[in-house]
Amino acid sequence: MASLNQGIIKRIAIPDIPYPEQRKIAAILTAYDDLIENNRQRIALLEAMAEEIYREWFVRLRFPGHQHTPIHKGVPEGWIEEPVVDAFDFTGGGTPSKKESRFWNPQEIDWYTPSDITASNGTFLFESAEKCSEEGLRNSSARLFPAYSVMLTSRATIGAIGINTTPAATNQGFITCIPNERFPLTFLYHWLKLAKPHFEMLSSGATFAELTKGTFKKIRILRPTDELVARYEAIARSNFDSIELLSRQNANLQRTRDLLLNRLISGKLRVDDLEICFPPSMSEAS
At 136-177, the pLDDT tens digits run 999 999 999 999 999 999 998 999 999 999 999 999 999 999
Range of the domain at 256: 25-79+224-286
Q: pLDDT digits over 53-94, tens only?
A: 999 999 999 999 999 999 999 999 999 999 999 999 999 999
Residue closest to 179 by CA, chosen among 106, 237, 262: 237
Phi first, then psi, for residue 132 (nearest 5°) are -105, 170
Phi first, then psi, for residue 109 (nearest 5°) are -125, 130
CA distance 16 to 172: 50
- Assign residue 269 the CATH number of its domain: 1.10.287
Q: How confident is the model at residue 28 (pLDDT cuts 50, 70, 90)?
A: confident
Prior bond of 280 cis (ω within 30°) = no
Cβ-contact 218, 84 below 8 angstroms: yes
Distances (CA, A) of 204 to 6, 65, 93, 97: 47, 40, 19, 27
CA distance 149 to 164: 6
Same structural domain for residues 210 and 137? yes
pLDDT at 13 exceeding the cut of 60 = no
- Assign residue 91 the CATH number of its domain: 3.90.220.20
Same structural domain for residues 214 and 137? yes
Which of 199, 223, 247 lies at the terminal end of a domain, its last residue? 223
3-state secondary structure of 213: helix
Which of 170, 197, 223 lies at the terminal end of a domain, its last residue? 223
Cβ-contact 159, 199 below 8 angstroms: yes
Same structural domain for residues 159 and 231? no
HSE at residue 90, side-chain half, CA atoms within 13 A, is 27
Same structural domain for residues 282 and 207? no
Could you tell me the sign of the dihedral formed by the alpha carbons of 146, 151, 155, 156, in that order? positive
CA distance 90 to 93: 10
Q: Which residues contact 81 (CB under 8 A, 6 or more apart)?
A: 75, 220, 221, 222, 223
**What crossing angle do the helices spanning 19-54 and 226-266 adopt, rounded to 10°?**
170
For residue 3, being part of any structural domain is answered with: no
Same structural domain for residues 67 and 113? no
Which of 223, 239, 257 lies at the terminal end of a domain, its last residue? 223
Q: How far is CA 177 from the centre of its chain?
A: 14
Same structural domain for residues 212 and 105? yes
CA distance 99 to 104: 10
Q: What is the dihedral of CA 149, 153, 159, 163, to 10 degrees?
A: -30
- Over residues 17-30, the mean pLDDT reads 67
Same structural domain for residues 184 and 211? yes
pLDDT for the residue 32:
83
Specify the DSSP element, H or E, that contains 134: helix 134-138
pLDDT for the residue 189:
98
Q: pLDDT digits over 178-235, tens only?
A: 999 999 999 999 999 999 999 999 998 878 899 999 999 999 999 999 999 999 999 9
Instruction: Give strand pairing partners of 141.
Output: none
Q: How many domains does the chain have?
A: 2
Same structural domain for residues 269 and 141? no
Specify the DSSP element, H or E, that contains 42: helix 19-54
Phi first, then psi, for residue 20 (nearest 5°) are -60, -35
Same structural domain for residues 134 and 246? no
For residue 148, being part of any structural domain is answered with: yes
For residue 134, being part of any structural domain is answered with: yes
Same structural domain for residues 166 and 271? no
Phi first, then psi, for residue 27 (nearest 5°) are -65, -40
Q: How confident is the model at residue 286 (pLDDT cuts 50, 70, 90)?
A: very low
Distance from the first to the final alpha carbon of the chain: 43
